[in-house]
Amino acid sequence: MKRIISLAVSLVILAAIYWKIDFSGLIQVFQNCDRTWMAISLGMVIPLIFATSWRLDRLMPPNTALGIGEANRLILASSTLNMILPSKMGDIAKAYFMKERGHLEGSLSLSLVVFEKSCDFLSLLLWCVFGLLLYPQKDTLFWVMTVCVVSASVFFSLLLASRRFARFFFLLAKAIAPRKFRKKLDSLQISWGEMHRYFWQDKRQLQIIALTSILIWLGHLLQIWFFILALNAWTPFLANLALSPLAILAGLLPLTFAGVGTRDAALILFYQPYFDAPTAAALGLLCTSRYLIPAIAGLPFLGQYLSAVRRLQKPVN
């Protein structure tokens, strides 16, 4: 039901956007695009998925076999599941499947996925902070967003780096959260504690994973900049480092289907100093393709993972 509501919200926002802008202008933007840059920008999905697969394989314990191929299939299948299941359950299913196949034991598989997603989110925030601090056109809204993003970066850095801070956060969250969420917070706290114990043992491994995550997200933001070039538009790269993460963060709000709608509206708002609304709407469609292409590529591998999803959902039913 939640998925249907989020899809309806996305369609309403998109309808409002396309009703307000010149839809024929949107078609014209794609007709006049640079096909070479379009191929390059869309093709960046391949190395980005490979880098993410390498990181997942690298995250595994030393004597545990996963392999780049299996990691790649897991990531693609979870991308497919994230498009059709609520609350990023595709990532949870990925953790469950690693445990089911014997790659990891206990709650370490969930801890690994939690750490992986935490690195992604913090890397996105760090690039956003870097871009916002250098962004020249700061009005009141951008100063507020800069303060919010910097504060979020400090908070998540402490949550990842400090066991004491994480313990205090979970105690506070469970004290103020509704009763129905407390069991989930207990599970997350256990996984978070295990993540701290496991990943902070090897500082060199931690540095490699952190650097890899930062470079992966630089690749994602570079891909969005290539999308802009493909649309025969222009934005300074440093400005793109500030604006594109803000749009991605808007798409992470749990309001719409895969961020469609909120991300598009944010792109139109943030990039208006550089190009018109039809071009920004076209950029929104290309940004959606960043999630759609891996989801389609994961369809051939989905069957072997569906049993894991059914077992994951069975206790809930």
Q: What is the pLDDT of residue 316?
A: 44
Domain range for 186: 2-12+33-313
Q: What is the pLDDT of residue 121?
A: 92
**291 occurs within a structural domain:** yes
**22 occurs within a structural domain:** no
**269 occurs within a structural domain:** yes
Tens digit of each residue's pLDDT (9 = 90 or more) over 39-48: 999 999 999 9
Average pLDDT (179-190) is 81
- Residue 212: is its pLDDT beyond 70? yes
- Residue 3: is its pLDDT beyond 70? no
pLDDT confidence tier of residue 103, bands split at 50, 70 and 90: low
- Residue 56: is its pLDDT beyond 80? yes
- Residue 102: is its pLDDT beyond 70? no
Total domains, the chain: 1
CA distance 261 to 233: 21
**208 occurs within a structural domain:** yes
Q: What is the pLDDT of residue 1?
A: 64
Tens digit of each residue's pLDDT (9 = 90 or more) over 236-292: 999 999 999 999 998 887 777 777 889 999 999 999 999 999 999 999 999 999 999
**168 occurs within a structural domain:** yes
Q: Which residue type is seen at 61?
A: P
pTM, whole model, 2 decimals? 0.88
* 95 or 317: which leads in pLDDT: 95
Question: What is the share, in percent, of the chain residues with pLDDT greater than 70?
Answer: 91
Q: Which of 262, 2, 220 is nearest to 121 (CA)?
A: 220
**82 occurs within a structural domain:** yes
Q: What is the pLDDT of residue 305?
A: 67
Q: What is the pLDDT of residue 229?
A: 97
**273 occurs within a structural domain:** yes
